[in-house]
Chains A and B, each alone.
Chain A
Amino acid sequence: MLHIHQLRAGIEGREILNGIDLEIKAGEVHAIMGPNGSGKSTLASVLAGKPNYEVLGGSVEFLGKDLLEMSPEQRAREGLFLAFQYPVEIPGLSTTNFIKTAVNETRKYRGEEPLDAVAFLRQMKEKMALVHIDQSLLSRSLNEGFSGGEKKRNEIFQMAMLQPRLAILDETDSGLDIDAIRIVANGVNKLRRKDNAVLLVTHYQRLLEYIVPDFVHVLYSGRIVRSGGKDLAHELEEKGYDFIRQEAGLAEEVKA
């Protein structure tokens, strides 16, 4: 469902992604790992359509359509969801009202009837249970005063409400303790269906114990330098990112 071909992108004149090739099929879980500065978050941002990032080459096809031609809201409505690494706090914006607006604008785009208050509340209760989110959190302003764990759970809650086809989780485990990771992972796993897919962007292997990937890719200097199964993640954990750097270094020498 997602086909990235030779994607090059950067920001403020710096090229960060140097030719990414990646294919994600429905039902799959992919993990992208890499050292800091490798371009992991850039990839997530570019896919979501974050302003200020420039695409310098390549293409991205999502569900048969040209993703890069779409505005951020179109990408969301087509079924792409980004769980942010640092979710924004918006004082004064009621979480519940915000999610209702989001759900209904997406439904409208898909030609579905908007949810009325009753149906919406029912769906909310269902999804709240999934990620152990309390009513008290949702009646507050969006993310205001939320702990790191609460913010990440709120991201997964929104994902549950919007039911995307492709969920990109940008370092969702960063800053979380084991219990929080377990809850988040549980939520993500429960949302998996045959027709959706997950792309996990992560620095550490820890999350992958709970959300088991089908494919692991290693990003280094803006390129995917290795791909493998879930065992690759273990290898990385044992050897660290240095061995990737060495391999990449050797490859450079060979090329030259």
Chain B
Amino acid sequence: MNSIDFFTHRFNTLQGSNGSNGLGQLRARAFQEFNRLGIPSGKNEEWKYTRIGPVFNKEFRMVPTPGDSSLSRTDVDRTLGLPGQKDATVLVFVNGFFSRSLSNFADSNLSVMSLEEAASGEAKQWVAEHLGQSSHYVKDGIQALNTAMLQGGLFLEVRKGVAPTRPVHVYHVADLRFGTNFSQPRILVRLGQEATLQLLEISGRLGDADQDNLSNQVIEIVVEKGAKLEHARIQNDGPRSSQVSTTHIRQVGASYAQSTLISLSGSILRNNVQVVFEAAACEAHLYGLYCLRGTTHVDNHTVVDNLKPQCFSNELFKGILDEGSTGVFNGKIFVRKDAQKTNAYQSNKNILLSDQATVNAKPQLEIFADDVKCSHGCTVGTLDEDALFYLRSRGLSPESARAQLLKAYAMDILEKISHEPIRQYVDRLISERLAIDAS
């Protein structure tokens, strides 16, 4: 069956058994939106360089219900085996469904439950108000598709004034032992007033390296007054893995948010990072590093929407593109009429290491207030000749000098990951990619 039929069938099956609760209505509205907007074609301006259609049209296997997988905790550890697991709260998704049994959370400062539970329990009012807000900034139906088939999602809450004792790692595991997979994980996070949260998302694959997988992920994070969020996403699943990720951060009180995106491998990776300042005096930092080779394509679309005054935002995205890899950066900054004294900065820097690598960058500033400071910049270039000579004059081979400079170039993004074991892990991955001897 073609993908529309497939999705329709899935939607109907899901609604058949779950259609009457609050989530059912949300799904129904989202499915209408999906039908209206569909999967974008190349004619959609926001997808001009990213042909996602063919990826969605592949024959993916969508695991029908959560819990179908026979994975053990050992399998998960083997797949991802990230350092720092012992000092982290680990929340595991298998094929897009949250798995309580594979997760390990014993932190009383962090509330963890499925979205279904949250939508019918104490928090149901809050969930109804806040779930499903992310697709406001897109003109395609991909986020709506995730909402339309919401199942086995995760709700995280950090209560007022509290900080979880450990960083939170979300592992998205694709179990490909029985075939390809299309998964749609969904996360909703509430960060209460004065609360803090360190949240890392990373994916991994178990099974055949030659299977394709596609993941359409949406995480919505609501940050309340005085709260502090540090979010990071690492994408390194190899050339058969495609992902559309949406990170939607709403700062509803004066607060601090930071999101760091590290993309190292994949087939087509499209990342939508959206920050909405719904209160005055918010601060947000968006960082990205894409270090690519082969034919990996990474498309980072960011939105910073200044609805209120005196907010500060800073975006720094850096690319290192080798071989036939391609990159896209589109950074939208909206400064609405009442958002006086906005400070919004955006910078995209790219280094191309081969003749075939290309990057397309487009800043888009829409400014409707008159007392603001905004700047944007984009560079595409090669390494600094003087720096290369300096290193060679100390005995480094040209390859070694280049590798050292590329690593140095990546460092300021890498440093934004504050959880030490993970930062070292990514540091090692990047050093390996750049063929730097780590000894």
| Inter-subunit contact B404/A109 (CB<8 Å) | no
| Inter-subunit contact A101/B412 (CB<8 Å) | no
Determine the chain B residues whose CB is within 8 A of the CB of A88 once the complex forms. 384, 386-387, 390
Q: State the CA gap A48–B389 with chains docked (Å).
A: 10
CB contact between B394 and one of A71, A76, A97 (< 8 Å): that residue = A76
Determine the chain B residues whose CB is within 8 A of the CB of A92 once the complex forms. 407-412
Interchain nearest-CB distance for A59 vs B (Å):
21
| Inter-subunit contact A76/B408 (CB<8 Å) | no
Within 8 A of B (CB), among A58-82: 71-73, 75-77, 81-82
| Inter-subunit contact B404/A73 (CB<8 Å) | no
Within 8 A of A (CB), among B392-437: 392-398, 400-401, 404-405, 407-412, 437
CB contact between A50 and one of B389, B398, B404, B412 (< 8 Å): that residue = B389
B385 in contact (CB, < 8 A): yes
Determine the chain B residues whose CB is within 8 A of the CB of A84 once the complex forms. 390, 393
A102 with B396, Cβ < 8 A, contacts A51-B385, A90-B387 known: yes
Determine the chain B residues whose CB is within 8 A of the CB of A102 once the complex forms. 391, 394-396
Interchain nearest-CB distance for B400 vs A (Å):
6
A87 with B390, Cβ < 8 A, contacts A92-B407, A101-B400, A101-B404 known: yes
| Inter-subunit contact B397/A73 (CB<8 Å) | yes
| Inter-subunit contact B396/A105 (CB<8 Å) | yes
| Inter-subunit contact B394/A93 (CB<8 Å) | no
Interchain nearest-CB distance for B351 vs A (Å):
13
Q: State the CA gap A229–B439 with chains docked (Å).
A: 48
| Inter-subunit contact A77/B395 (CB<8 Å) | yes
> 1/0 per residue B217-249: CB within 8 Å of A?
000000000000000000000000000000000
Interchain nearest-CB distance for B366 vs A (Å):
32
A106 in contact (CB, < 8 A): yes
Determine the chain B residues whose CB is within 8 A of the CB of A158 once the complex forms. 394
| Inter-subunit contact A98/B393 (CB<8 Å) | no
A162 in contact (CB, < 8 A): yes
Q: State the CA gap A76–B395 with chains docked (Å).
A: 5
Q: State the CA gap A99–B390 with chains docked (Å).
A: 12
B-side interface residues, number (CB < 8 Å): 26
A91 in contact (CB, < 8 A): yes
Q: State the CA gap A84–B405 with chains docked (Å).
A: 19
A6 in contact (CB, < 8 A): no
A73 with B398, Cβ < 8 A, contacts A51-B389, A88-B386 known: yes
CB contact between A73 and one of B384, B395, B407, B439 (< 8 Å): that residue = B395
Least CB separation from B398: chain A residue: A73
A73 with B392, Cβ < 8 A, contacts A90-B405, A92-B407 known: yes
**Beyond known contacts A72-B393, A90-B408: 9 more, CB 8 A cutoff:** A73-B392, A73-B393, A91-B411, A92-B408, A92-B412, A98-B394, A102-B395, A105-B400, A114-B439
Determine the chain B residues whose CB is within 8 A of the CB of A72 once the complex forms. 389, 392-393
| Inter-subunit contact A162/B412 (CB<8 Å) | no
| Inter-subunit contact A98/B395 (CB<8 Å) | no
Q: State the CA gap A88–B387 with chains docked (Å).
A: 6
Q: State the CA gap A178–B398 with chains docked (Å).
A: 37
A-B contacts, 5 of them at CB < 8 A, read A51-B385, A93-B408, A101-B437, A102-B394, A162-B394
Interchain nearest-CB distance for B7 vs A (Å):
45
Least CB separation from A74: chain B residue: B395
| Inter-subunit contact A98/B385 (CB<8 Å) | no
Interchain nearest-CB distance for B86 vs A (Å):
25
CB contact between A101 and one of B384, B386, B396 (< 8 Å): that residue = B396
Least CB separation from A77: chain B residue: B395
Q: State the CA gap A50–B390 with chains docked (Å).
A: 9
Q: State the CA gap A76–B391 with chains docked (Å).
A: 10
Within 8 A of B (CB), among A84-129: 84, 87-88, 90-93, 97-99, 101-102, 105-106, 109, 114
Q: State the CA gap A78–B188 with chains docked (Å).
A: 61
Select the residue from A48, A76, A88, A101 with max chain B CB neighbours within 10 A.
A101
Q: State the CA gap A59–B11 with chains docked (Å).
A: 80
Determine the chain B residues whose CB is within 8 A of the CB of A106 once the complex forms. 395
| Inter-subunit contact A76/B392 (CB<8 Å) | yes
Q: State the CA gap A109–B396 with chains docked (Å).
A: 11
Q: State the CA gap A181–B409 with chains docked (Å).
A: 33
Q: State the CA gap A158–B384 with chains docked (Å).
A: 21
> 1/0 per residue B371-387: CB within 8 Å of A?
00000000000001111
A93 with B407, Cβ < 8 A, contacts A105-B396, A105-B400, A162-B394 known: yes
A82 with B400, Cβ < 8 A, contacts A88-B386, A92-B408 known: no
Select the residue from A49, A90, A97, A158 with max chain B CB neighbours within 10 A.
A90
Determine the chain A residues whose CB is within 8 A of the CB of B411 once the complex forms. 91-93, 141
A93 with B404, Cβ < 8 A, contacts A73-B397, A105-B397 known: yes
Q: State the CA gap A50–B386 with chains docked (Å).
A: 9
Within 8 A of A (CB), among B262-306: none
Interchain nearest-CB distance for B407 vs A (Å):
7
Determine the chain A residues whose CB is within 8 A of the CB of B410 once the complex forms. 92
Q: State the CA gap A75–B407 with chains docked (Å).
A: 25
Q: State the CA gap A49–B401 with chains docked (Å).
A: 15
Least CB separation from A106: chain B residue: B395
Determine the chain A residues whose CB is within 8 A of the CB of B384 once the complex forms. 88
Q: State the CA gap A77–B395 with chains docked (Å).
A: 5
Determine the chain B residues whose CB is within 8 A of the CB of A76 once the complex forms. 392-395
Q: State the CA gap A97–B394 with chains docked (Å).
A: 13
Select the residue from B385, B394, B400 with max chain A CB neighbours within 10 A.
B394
A91 with B394, Cβ < 8 A, contacts A51-B389, A101-B400, A101-B404 known: no
Determine the chain B residues whose CB is within 8 A of the CB of A91 once the complex forms. 408, 411-412
| Inter-subunit contact B392/A93 (CB<8 Å) | no
Determine the chain B residues whose CB is within 8 A of the CB of A71 once the complex forms. 392, 398
| Inter-subunit contact A109/B395 (CB<8 Å) | yes
Least CB separation from A89: chain B residue: B387
A141 with B408, Cβ < 8 A, contacts A101-B400, A102-B396 known: yes
Interchain nearest-CB distance for B423 vs A (Å):
14
> 1/0 per residue B165-198: CB within 8 Å of A?
0000000000000000000000000000000000
| Inter-subunit contact A73/B387 (CB<8 Å) | no
| Inter-subunit contact A48/B395 (CB<8 Å) | no
Determine the chain A residues whose CB is within 8 A of the CB of B385 once the complex forms. 51
| Inter-subunit contact A162/B404 (CB<8 Å) | no
